[in-house]
Amino acid sequence: PHHAASISNAEKLLLRVDDFDLVYRSIKGHMVPVVGNTWSYEEELTYMGFGDESLPAKTNIAQHSSSSTSGTTASHRPLIHESTAISTLDQSIRDLILQTVESDLKVNLPVLSTGAYGFGKQIARMAQLAHIAEVVDAANVREVDVLVDQIKNTKNDTSGQSSSKPTPSASSTTSQVPMDSTSSAAGSGTARRGYALLEKYLTMWLMGDGNEKYLAYDAQLGGILSKEGMTDINADFGNARYNDHHFHYGYVLYAAAILGRANPKFISQYGPFVDALFYDVAHNKASGGNLKADIFFPLARHKSWFDGHSFASGLFPFADGKSQESSSEAVNCYYGAYLWSKVRWGAGDRKMVD
C-alpha cells in the first residue's frame, strides 16, 4: 500500500477497492491490487543541501504526504536558507552565537576510543559548530562589505557633511556592524578553529592514532567494522556484527562532507577512507561511481527498497524480525551520504550524486 502513492501510471494500473472482491491486510495497511506483472515508481526528490547555498528564487521543494501521487506538482516558493536567516539577526545575537560556539568548542571534544557511534556523534557535533560559525562569520563580512560600499559611494560637500544618503544594497540588513578591530565581522576565527579541530580529530580517527587503528575491513561479509567489537560482539552497539552501521557512519559522513566542502585538500587526501564508510551503508550498483565497490561491499546494506526504509539490526536475531529502531538517524545517514557525494563527485558525476 505504501507504493501506491508513487507508482507510475497509477490511474491505469491500480484498482479501486470496490473493483476488487478481496481485501488483504499487511503491517503497512490494506494491500492495493495492481494490474500487470511489472511496474515502476516515481519519487520526487526533496531539496537537500548544506543549508547556506545560493539558490534560485523558485527552488522546487517537494511537499510529500501520504495522499500525494506522482501526478501532483510541488509548490514553488522562495527558499529561506541559513545565510538569509542569519542576516536578519541583530548583531548582538550573532555575537552571542559565536561566543556560544567558541565555548562549545572547548568542551566535549571527540574521544577516539569511544567507538564508531560515540565518536560519530561527537565529530558531527563539531562539524555543526564549525558550520554555524562559518555562516555567521560570512553574514558579518557581507554586512561590513555593504557599509564599505556605502562609504565609497557617499559624496561629501565642502563642509564635510554628507550631501546624499547612502543607498543600502539589496543584501543590506537593518542592523549595522561597527567597523573596528574588535568587531566579530572583522574575522572572529571561531570557524577556523572549529574546522581545525574537526580536521584534527576526523583524520586521526580515519587513519588511526599512531599504532592504534579504530576500523577494520571484514573480507567475509564486506564491511567496515569498529575494532571495539572485534573481541566483544556487544561492544559499540554491535557494530562488529553489522548493527546500526548507517547510524554510526552517517554522522561521520556528515562531518566529512562539512570539512571537505570547506577544505578540498581533505577530499584529495582522505577521500578513499571516507568512501569506504559511504559504500558500507549507501552503495548502489545502479548509480555508477567506483566499480571496485561492487567487489568489496554489498548493495544497500541496511536499506530495503521494497519497504521504503532501513533496518538497523545486523546479524543479531530478533523475535519480531529486523527493527528500524531510529528513523531519524537513518535519515541522517542518507543525508550525510548525499552531502558527501556532492563534495566528492558532484562536479563530475551527477548520476552518482542523485
Q: With bands split at pLDDT 50, 70 and 90, how would you rate the model's confidence at 65?
A: very low
Residue type, 145: D
What distance in Å separates the CA atoms of residue 179 and residue 97, rounded to the nearest whole number? Answer: 19
Q: With bands split at pLDDT 50, 70 and 90, how would you rate the model's confidence at 132?
A: very high
Contact between 198 and 270 under an 8 Å Cβ cutoff? The reply is no
Per-residue pLDDT tens over the stretch 104-118: 999 999 999 888 999
Q: What is the 3-state secondary structure (H, E, C) of the chain?
A: CCCHHHECCHHHHECCHHHCCCCCEECCEECCCECCCCCCECCCCCCCCCCCCCCCCCCECCCCCCCCCCCCCCCECCCCCHHHHHHCCCHHHHHHHHHHHHHHCCCCCCCHHHHHHHHHHHHHHHHHHHHHHHHHHHHHHHHHHHHHHHHHCCCECCCCCECCCCCCCCCCCCCCCCCCCCCHHHCCCHHHHHHHHHHHHHHHHHHCECCECCEEEECCCCEEEEHHHCCCCCHHHHHHHCCCHHHHHHHHHHHHHHHHHHCHHHHHHHHHHHHHHHHHHHCCHHHCCCCCHHHHCCCCCCEECCCCEECCCCCCCCCCCCCCCCHHHHHHHHHHHHHHHHHHHCCCCHHHHC
Residue whose grid cell is 577544505:
263
pTM of the model: 0.79
Let me know the angle formed at the C-alpha of 249 by 119 and 65, rounded to the nearest 5 degrees. 125
User: 333 or 166, which is more confident?
Assistant: 333
Q: What is the mean pLDDT of residues 53-67?
A: 49
Per-residue pLDDT tens over the stretch 21-47: 777 888 888 888 888 888 888 877 777
Q: What is the mean pLDDT of residues 314-323?
A: 80
Task: Phi first, then psi: give them for residue 304, nearest 5 degrees.
Answer: -100, 110
Q: What would the grid cell of residue 81 be? A: 536558507
Q: What is the residue-averaged pLDDT of the chain?
A: 78
Residue whose grid cell is 526528490:
45
Q: What is the mean pLDDT of residues 343-351?
A: 72
Task: Phi first, then psi: give them for residue 289, nearest 5 degrees.
Answer: 80, -140
Contact between 270 and 215 under an 8 Å Cβ cutoff? The reply is no
Q: Is the pLDDT of residue 172 over 50?
A: no
Task: Report the candidate in 124, 314, 106, 105 with the shortest Cα–Cα distance to residue 205.
Answer: 124
What distance in Å separates the CA atoms of residue 240 and residue 280, rounded to the nearest whole number? Answer: 13
